[in-house]
Structure 1
């Protein structure tokens, strides 16, 4: 049984009426089907407007799809009873793109990371503080950061705090929704390295939603390409992205800046065709 199974998901935004005219409903997801196995990362690549954010919300239980089914550990997340839904909320976490809007600006790092622990764990104050310190250190920060507020951190540091909060309950799956796209290249690389380490150490699975092909290739085991609400390509081996003849994928490859030899050789080859 797959950890996450997305079955034939379709979704449209409702039509709007402007004066006497009624705009047609906009289909944003069309028959999306894929699975994520335990201990793996699926990179989901798509340009702006491809439907990535909507799909992320559907998987997280935020946006109910008009058709289709989301199974997490064998349970339909929209049909499960309250006890199962609580377990799903524990085992399915998220890290969003905007690290600052993802936290309460009036809460310290300690309180931000403690939030899920207070909701799900029965720890003493000392046990909880000890665990928060461990989580801070695990993501590259330290005990001295406990009492700092969000505005006292850089974007990369605050994203580390969001990651610490996400792993606090040792979830099964983390949805990473453009989680490094707002960071500079050096910080991106460091955060991706951290995510890879945590995946191995905690046995995590990821859904890595992004428009950044290089970032997806760095962290993912498998790749999917989303275009205009459709999953146009899916690769069990991520190298399949580089041999695909699909027009959308070829355009994506052509947009890659060739710092890495893999991408340089690809660009040269395609430019000579």
Structure 2
């Protein structure tokens, strides 16, 4: 049984004029099906407007699709009872693109990370603080950062706090919705290395939603390509993606500028397609 199974999901948003809703709607996801296994990362690629973020919301239970099913650990997330939904919320976490809007600016790093622990764990004050310090150290920060507020961190540091919060309950799957897109290239590399390390150490699975092929290539085991709400290709290996003759994929590959030696093999292959 797959950790996550998405079956024939279709979702639409109603179109609207200045005065009222129109009768027709815009389909943003059309007949989407894929699965994610434990301990693996699926990189979901697509340009702006492809439906990537909507897909993430549907899987998180924030947008119920018109058609299709989402199974997480064997449970239909939209038909599960209250107790099961509570368990799903623990095992399914998310890190969004904007690290600053993802946190309460009036809360310290300690309180931000403590939120899920208070909701799901029964820890003493001492145990909770020790756990939070361990989480901060795990993501490359330290005890001295406990009492800092969001504005006192860089974007990359704050994203590390969001990641610490996401892993605090040892979830099975984390949805990373453009989680490194707003960061500079050096910070991106550091965060991606951190995510890869956490994946290996904790057996995490990721749905890595991004428009950045290099970022997806760095962390993903398999790759999917969304285009205008449709999953046009799903690749079991990164090599399949690099050699695909699909015109959309070829265009995506053609946009890669191999400015770093690590990715020049990608650029070389692109030039021959």
The TM-score, its normalising length taken from structure 2, stands at: 0.97
* Deviation at residue 237 of structure 1 after TM alignment: 1.1
The RMSD of aligned alpha carbons is 1.2
SS in 2 for 1:49: coil
Residue of structure 2 equivalent to 1:195? 195
CA shift digits 1:74-110 (9 cap, x unpaired): 0000100000000000000000000000000000000
Residue of structure 2 equivalent to 1:8? 8
* Deviation at residue 17 of structure 1 after TM alignment: 4.1
In structure 2, what is the Cα distance between the partners aligned to 1:266 and 1:166?
36
Cα 1:16–1:125 shift into 2, 3 Å? same
In structure 2, what is the Cα distance between the partners aligned to 1:2 and 1:244?
26
In structure 2, what is the Cα distance between the partners aligned to 1:150 and 1:267?
41
Residue of structure 1 equivalent to 2:164? 164
In structure 2, what is the Cα distance between the partners aligned to 1:12 and 1:20?
17
Residue of structure 1 equivalent to 2:121? 121
1:261 aligns with 2:264: yes
Return 5+ residue gaps in structure 2 as ranges.
none
The TM-score, its normalising length taken from structure 1, stands at: 0.97
In structure 1, what is the Cα distance between the partners aligned to 2:62 and 2:230?
20
In structure 1, what is the Cα distance between the partners aligned to 2:39 and 2:254?
31
- Asked whether the 8 Å contact 1:177–1:210 carries over to 2, the reply is yes
- Asked whether the 8 Å contact 2:254–2:271 carries over to 1, the reply is no
In structure 2, what is the Cα distance between the partners aligned to 1:5 and 1:21?
33
1:62 aligns with 2:62: yes
* Deviation at residue 50 of structure 1 after TM alignment: 0.2
Cα 1:23–1:48 shift into 2, 3 Å? farther
Return 5+ residue gaps in structure 1 as ranges.
none
- Asked whether the 8 Å contact 1:258–1:267 carries over to 2, the reply is no
- Asked whether the 8 Å contact 1:50–1:227 carries over to 2, the reply is yes
In structure 1, what is the Cα distance between the partners aligned to 2:123 and 2:70?
32
* Deviation at residue 19 of structure 1 after TM alignment: 5.5
In structure 2, what is the Cα distance between the partners aligned to 1:21 and 1:136?
47
